[in-house]
């Protein structure tokens, strides 16, 4: 890259995560000349230090834990060992394969890839800085997809033993003990990984329950399973600070007015993520950003600067990879002159806990807040043939429907493969299907998917496999 080299493009995308790279590909498909800028690795946080590597470790930890608990199937394993370096190598291989695939897709769609840090000079110009020099790119439209980073607390600065989620994913050894500050999705998932590997895990959560006040029927199942693995959970715990030593870290917290301390090999701080909207010149060109760093956008992902769009973790709504990808398509299509607009009625969310949690649409409470007369129906995994054969019978499917016409408006699943099962309920909401539509759909037997059909039959008042 030569200093002050000048280039031009139709659409520049800043950030190559699941929002940015999808936006770039869709824009290219619609005939735009596209340049994508990434300062670190293609795939962004999700593919490199988020969704994908965490699921690889979760899978490995599940296999280890299951191998130690096969007696119910009549299988005895005398010695199960973990080579954590090989576990990490497996995780890294998964990441490498997927990030390489992103590069292939971008090049296959003729998207120009620029490595470096982008800064807006004005509403039509971006400067890209890297170790090779500086490049200036003129553009007609921009899509900002810079994602987010872990929140760092003043009393718990990140270091060798006070780590964020990235650090937790890249430990060289399985710690003997781990304190997790924050009982949200990331904290719960990583706590589960290391608990499965035999780490003594303690969770400190400031709220009254884990997972942001999710349905207590759901969180109670997750907590019960974590406690079975020796995880200690403190809620309404105010963490005051931490001190790091060579081989350990000491955490001080207050609960019920009493101050306590804990020592552990590592302290994972997982208290949220901060949007990456600073230091790239957005406010200088007139992009409106609120006090939390969130960019204000319209229904086509357009910011207050008409030719600049924003998607993903830097705009309002849940910080989910699939939401970012969806918004990326909308922004690209809006730039191309299509009438695409965002519709957030149906965004599924998944927690890869044990068992898995997946939710979509409205709950009974949120439906009531919107003035919708709704009802719910629930069916347990405990009487499903496939769940029994898997020896994974905890959990349920809950269906939320309109009282007057039975249209599906929400769903909650906790149980094995909830992350896959939620797709059917998402489609039902998106398509405006009714409980009767689900009940009349023939589901293969024996499968976990049958539970959706059975739940719909409960809603209709004629369940087959439970007594009404």
Residue 182 labelled as part of a binding site: yes
CB burial readout 385-413, b (16+ within 10 A) else e:
ebbeeeebbbbbbbbbbbeeebbbbbbbb
Residue that is written with structure tokens 């409205």 in the block: 362
Residue 294 labelled as part of a binding site: no
Catalytic: 445? Answer: yes
Rounded to an integer, what distance in angstroms lies between the CA atom of residue 97 and that of residue 389? 33
Rounded to an integer, what distance in angstroms lies between the CA atom of residue 251 and that of residue 234? 13
Question: Which residues 6+ apart lie within 8 Å of 281 measured at CB?
Answer: 119, 120, 121
Rounded to an integer, what distance in angstroms lies between the CA atom of residue 107 and that of residue 272? 34
How many CB atoms neighbour CB 213 within 10 A? 10
Residue 93 labelled as part of a binding site: no
Residue 328 labelled as part of a binding site: no
How many CB atoms neighbour CB 130 within 10 A? 14
Q: Does residue 355 have a cis bond before it (omega within 30 degrees)?
A: yes
For the chain, helix, strand, coil in percent to 5 are 35, 30, 40
Residue 186 labelled as part of a binding site: yes
Query: Roughly how many angstroms between the first and final C-alpha of the chain, as a whole number?
Result: 71
Residue 442 labelled as part of a binding site: no
Residue 183 labelled as part of a binding site: yes
Residue 209 labelled as part of a binding site: no
Residue 146 labelled as part of a binding site: yes
Question: Which residues 6+ apart lie within 8 Å of 427 measured at CB?
Answer: 433
Q: Which of 141, 445, 462, 465 is catalytic?
A: 445
Residue 272 labelled as part of a binding site: yes
Structure tokens that stand for 50 in this block: 């988020």
Sign of the CA dihedral 39, 41, 46, 49? negative
Residues annotated as binding site? Answer: 55, 146-148, 182-189, 205, 272, 313
Catalytic positions? 445
Residues annotated as binding site for FAD? Answer: 55, 146-148, 313
Residues annotated as binding site for NAD(+)? Answer: 182-189, 205, 272
């Amino acid at each position: 890259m030569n200093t002050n080299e000048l280039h031009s493009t139709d659409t520049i995308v800043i950030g190559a995560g699941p929002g940015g790279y999808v936006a770039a590909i869709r824009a290219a498909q619609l005939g735009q000349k596209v340049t994508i800028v990434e300062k670190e690795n293609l795939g962004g946080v999700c593919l490199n230090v988020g969704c994908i590597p965490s699921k690889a470790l979760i899978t490995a930890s599940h296999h280890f834990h299951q191998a130690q608990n096969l007696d119910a199937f009549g299988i005895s394993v005398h010695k199960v060992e973990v080579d954590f370096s090989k576990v990490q190598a497996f995780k890294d291989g998964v990441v490498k394969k997927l990030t390489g695939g992103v590069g292939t897709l971008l090049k296959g769609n003729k998207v120009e890839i620029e490595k470096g840090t982008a800064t807006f000079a004005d509403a039509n110009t971006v400067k890209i800085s890297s170790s090779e020099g500086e490049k200036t790119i003129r553009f007609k439209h921009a899509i900002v997809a810079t994602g987010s980073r872990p929140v760092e607390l003043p009393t718990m600065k990140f270091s060798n033993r006070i780590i964020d989620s990235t650090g937790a994913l890249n430990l060289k050894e399985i710690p003997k003990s781990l304190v997790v500050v924050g009982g949200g999705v990331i904290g719960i998932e990583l706590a589960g990984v290391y608990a499965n590997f035999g780490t003594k895990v303690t969770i400190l959560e400031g709220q009254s329950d884990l997972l942001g006040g999710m349905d207590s029927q759901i969180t109670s199942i997750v907590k019960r399973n974590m406690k079975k693995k020796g995880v200690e959970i403190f809620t309404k715990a105010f963490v005051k600070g931490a001190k790091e030593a060579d081989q350990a870290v000491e955490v001080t917290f207050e609960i019920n007015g009493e101050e306590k301390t804990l020592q552990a090999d590592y302290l994972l701080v997982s208290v949220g993520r901060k949007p990456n909207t600073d230091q790239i010149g957005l406010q200088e060109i007139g992009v409106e950003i609120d006090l939390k760093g969130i960019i204000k956008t319209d229904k086509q992902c357009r910011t207050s600067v008409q030719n600049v769009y924003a998607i993903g973790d830097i705009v309002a709504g849940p910080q989910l990879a699939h939401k970012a990808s969806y918004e990326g398509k909308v922004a690209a299509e809006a730039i191309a002159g299509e009438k695409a607009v965002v519709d957030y009625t149906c965004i599924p969310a998944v927690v890869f806990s044990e068992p898995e949690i997946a939710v979509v649409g409205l709950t009974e409470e949120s439906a009531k807040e919107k003035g919708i007369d709704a009802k719910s129906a629930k069916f347990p995994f405990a009487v499903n043939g496939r769940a029994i054969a898997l020896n994974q019978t905890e959990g349920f499917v809950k269906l939320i429907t309109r009282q007057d016409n039975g249209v599906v408006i929400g769903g909650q699943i906790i149980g094995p493969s909830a992350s896959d099962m939620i797709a059917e309920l998402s489609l039902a909401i998106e398509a405006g299907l009714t409980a009767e539509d689900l009940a009349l759909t023939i589901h293969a037997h024996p499968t976990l998917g049958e539970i959706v059909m059975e739940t719909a039959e409960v809603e209709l008042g004629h369940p087959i496999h439970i007594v009404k």
